[in-house]
Amino acid sequence: MEPLIQINAATKSFQKNKETITPLDSLSLDVAKGEFLSLMGPSGSGKTTLLNLIAGIDSPSAGEIRIHGRDIAKLSRAQLTRWRAEHVGYIFQLYHLVPILSAYENVELPLLLGKWTKAERKAKVMAALELVGLSDRADHRPSELSGGQEQRVAIARAIVHDPALLVADEPTGDLDRESADAILKLLSTLAEEHNKTIIMVTHDPKAAAAAHRALQLEKGQLVTSGHLLNHMPT
């Protein structure tokens, strides 16, 4: 089966004064559809840089980022923005919910860019809240939710437009163990039962081990790769 993500010799470098910084150095990686991949590595090793390339938030200086066979490195800024709105959901460490909006309204936000009617939006928002187990909290504002619930609302917002790809940057970094485990279980379910491809950056070895495969970044390169644990996508 063709992988959903094929990264071929992707390099990202920045010019700072007269110095060149290379957060990603000719990195290659394939990720299968429905795979849940974790990414660990020291601070500054290029984890967020890699996520941003995969999510189309940034473009590589060289190399290919193929998603569904299409090299998104070749897209213009405007094309990339459109591509991202359709194909990617992003989950952050600190949830980034809008404080004055209800859970429902937060989840609805990505749909306001699309062509859906109010009734269609409602069906999608309620399905996403149901999936994360929070349909009874639709009217709550973020300040009326626990951290774990806020992150589940953020996950509902990330999946509401049904993207193939989910990227998460330390999604459990701010949570207690129990809430973190619930989030990890939810991410596994999204991969295994909803065929989402998930790339998760984490500093927590237990979170990394919850994924199907755990990779390690160091100085912009993958240093080890191994199939961990129980499950691989079928």
Ligand X SMILES: Nc1ncnc2c1ncn2[C@@H]1O[C@H](COP(=O)(O)OP(=O)(O)OP(=O)(O)O)[C@@H](O)[C@H]1O
Q: Which residues in this chain contact ligand X in the complex, by CB under 6 A?
A: 14, 16, 21, 23, 41, 43-49
Residues forming contacts to Mg ion in the complex (CB under 5 A) are: 47-48
Residue that is written with structure tokens 């349909």 in the block: 135
The DSSP output letter for 219 is T
49 binds, among Mg ion, ligand X, none (CB under 5 to 8 A by kind): ligand X
46 binds, among Mg ion, ligand X, none (CB under 5 to 8 A by kind): ligand X
Least CB distance from residue 22 to ligand X, whole Å? 8
Least CB distance from residue 161 to Mg ion, whole Å? 24
The residue nearest Mg ion at its CB is 48
In this complex, which beta carbon is closest to Mg ion, that of residue 42 or of residue 133? 42
Residue 136, classified by CB atoms within 10 Å of its CB into exposed (0-12), middle (13-18) or buried (19+), is: exposed
Least CB distance from residue 228 to ligand X, whole Å? 20
Q: At 103, list the tokens.
A: 């859970």
In this complex, which beta carbon is closest to ligand X, that of residue 27 or of residue 155? 27
Least CB distance from residue 28 to ligand X, whole Å? 17
DSSP string, 119-154: HHHHHHHHHHHHHTT-GGGTT--GGGS-HHHHHHHH
41 binds, among Mg ion, ligand X, none (CB under 5 to 8 A by kind): ligand X
Least CB distance from residue 51 to ligand X, whole Å? 8
Q: What is the rounded CA–CA span in Å between residue 114 and residue 192?
A: 27
* Long-range contacts (CB closer than 8 Å, 24 or more residues apart) made by 118-121: none
Q: At 148, list the tokens.
A: 């774990």
Residue of 228, 222, 230, 221 lying closest to 22 (CA atoms) = 221
In this complex, which beta carbon is closest to ligand X, that of residue 49 or of residue 106? 49
